[in-house]
Amino acid sequence: MDRSTSAQAGPGQGATPPPADGAPSTLGQRAGPRRARRVALLLASVTLALVAGSGWWFVRFASHLRRDPGAVYRDPTTLDKLLKRAGDAERAGDRATAITTYRFVASVGEGAGAEWAPYAAAARTALKRLGVADTLAGPPR
């Protein structure tokens, strides 16, 4: 039987006429859910992979921050702003804010490499000018 005669076949011969409203045939209806399941499985797999990768990255980043808390502040713009803020506080007579900010910049720049050394040196110079130690006395870290 070809397509034209199978559409005209009577009941019991295994062929059904296509729906009049343009809906997909029975074969198309079966293929649609299978394809939808495959796409859903693919999307679920990609989502799980992204979640696992994000979780791994977050844990890695958090452990890096535990070892080096100043890493997120090690940016030239941020350190420039902090040095300016500390200088402004010093000129305004707010000695406590100036000391705290200079100590923070010194600790962030400490041991971070040659590119951050000028920021740490400027903060230490300011702390010496104010007559205070670079760091607070406390238990060793």
pLDDT digits (tens, 9 = 90+) for 24-49: 555 555 568 888 899 999 999 999 99
- Return the pLDDT at 29: 56
What is the distance between the alpha carbons of residues 37 and 32, in angstroms, rounded to a whole number?
Answer: 9
Give the pLDDT confidence of 105-129 residue by residue, as tens digits. Answer: 888 877 677 788 888 889 999 999 8
Higher-scoring residue by pLDDT: 136, 55: 55
Is the pLDDT at 84 greater than 60? The verdict is yes
